[in-house]
Amino acid sequence: MSVQTHIIGVGGYLPERILSNEELSTMVDTSDAWIRERTGITQRHIVSEGQQTSDLGAAAAQQALDDAGISIHDIDALLVATTTPDMIFPSTASIVQYKLGGKGFPAWDIQAVCSGFVYGLAQADGMMRSGMFKRVLLIGAESMSRIVDWTDRNTCVLFGDGSGAVVLEAVATDSKEGGVIGSVLHCDGSYRHLLMAEHRYGGNAPGEKVDFRVDAAGVAAIEMKGNEVFRMAVKKLGEVVGEVLEKHGIKQSDVDWLIPHQANIRILKATAKKMKMPEEYMALTVDQHANTSAASVPLALNHLYRQGKFKTGNILLLEAFAGGFAWGANLVRWSK
């Protein structure tokens, strides 16, 4: 008998404020046509004044708990994947725990940027298979609008805010027909300069000049070498998809749903094409949500789930590429 990690609850939350391409074009030198052509994005959701990443995470988490039919008191651990924590410390996970009314069980943050949820699922799965936890609440939550330079048209058009969550349950079974099948994770810090957001402490070696850019509010802002990131993302995602399938003995044609990080429509289509997967079997939310970093994959999962797309036994492939560079993939056999 083995232990498998099953998804028993799914949730998502998007802030009420919507920033359209048209409105954005009044703030910076861009246009709806320019943004659509290069990214596929038409709008993004933006946090309201006073709304924190923990608020987004708690809302998505509560929906996932309700969907699972359990309360926060049934949870053994809480993980929040985020690049935009409420504060340096304590962890956003500890704040979400408090807002949900929980206490006592471990709660911590994961920082792998856009790959945070994929990393978190792999980490939670490993800990649950070991018998450490019975139920885990895994959240991806971001307020990316707070680290965007709203004068930089090359990056400010790309990002949005939101949160997605899943409740995971460890199930002892003789069957191999359900739950998380397995994961593959990678990172290569030599590419870190191509996509980053520095703060006042810098990321430089001793003696090197600390040179970073901030947005209008004085907050560290995202910097990206778009063309280089695009090329690496397509290459590495193609490799990791092949690797996770081969590792677990699953054919490409056996994958029912592709749930990729929602960064850019061109990257999504390139990945689907490489897998020879019809685009109608790929989650596509980038047009409405933009890039919500660690919230992207769980929000895309929630989007398909709420539409009733998944059937028992379906194989889901989750994958993401992020600053670091960090990238990875999870295989899940749907059992909810």
- Beta strands at 179-187 and 326-333: parallel, antiparallel or unpaired: antiparallel
The whole-angstrom separation of Cα 263 and Cα 257 is: 18
- CB-CB contact of 302 with 9 (8 Å): no
Residue 73 annotated as catalytic: no
Residue 114 annotated as catalytic: yes
Please, how many CA atoms are within 13 Å of residue 214, restricted to the half-sphere of its CB?
10
Measured CA to CA in angstroms, residue 20 lies from 23, 38, 155, 221 at distances of 5, 15, 15, 21
Residue 261 annotated as catalytic: yes
Those residues with Cβ within 8 angstroms of residue 170's Cβ, 6 or more apart along the chain or in another chain: 3, 4, 5, 6, 128, 129, 131, 133, 134, 135
The whole-angstrom separation of Cα 149 and Cα 323 is: 17
Measured CA to CA in angstroms, residue 311 lies from 176, 302, 336 at distances of 17, 14, 8
- CB-CB contact of 23 with 41 (8 Å): no
Active-site residue, from 6, 21, 156, 261: 261
The dihedrals phi and psi of 176, each to the nearest 5 degrees, come to -115, 25
The separation between the first and the last C-alpha atoms of the chain, rounded to the nearest angstrom, is 20
Active-site residue, from 6, 21, 45, 114: 114
Beta bridge partners of 173: 2
Active-site residue, from 21, 264, 291, 302: 291
Active-site residues, by number, are 114, 261, 291
